[in-house]
Structure 1
Amino acid sequence: MATPKMNRDWRRIRDRIKAMWSDVEFDDKRMKKTRGSLRQMVTLVQQRTDEPRAEVRKKIVAVM
């Protein structure tokens, strides 16, 4: 699901996600591919952190 807000505020959202999971290395190229897609962003973070998908989604939506 692409959200207009996620596209508009991309840099802020990206930086907040990186700050929340500061112990995880995120490849900027892969992160850029997820721009505008909440589902893809949740998948990327979940794969890197092994946190439950619902928890990752809740955290990302909170920063949006």
Structure 2
Amino acid sequence: MLAVVTAVHADGTADVDTGRGAVLGVRYLRGWNPAPDDRVMVATNPAGNWLIVGALAAGPDPV
């Protein structure tokens, strides 16, 4: 699923906005530092855990 990063936290999590709504405190992979407005791919499992898999593009869409 695609999402947009809305906030980044010092504990290794970020908040994202998905087509299903906002998801708070999503973990992201080490070695990558997301920033607000990054377009990302997120994954979820049947237990309801979320993970930001990686960035697709940085910053807002061009006008």
Question: TM-score higher than 0.5 here?
Answer: no
Hey, which of these two has a bigger chunk of strand by percent? 2
Higher RCO structure, 1 or 2 (CA under 8 Å, sep 6+) = 1
Normalised by the size of structure 1, how large is the TM-score?
Answer: 0.29
Normalised by the size of structure 2, how large is the TM-score?
Answer: 0.29
Which has the larger Rg?
2
Hey, which of these two has a bigger chunk of helix by percent? 1
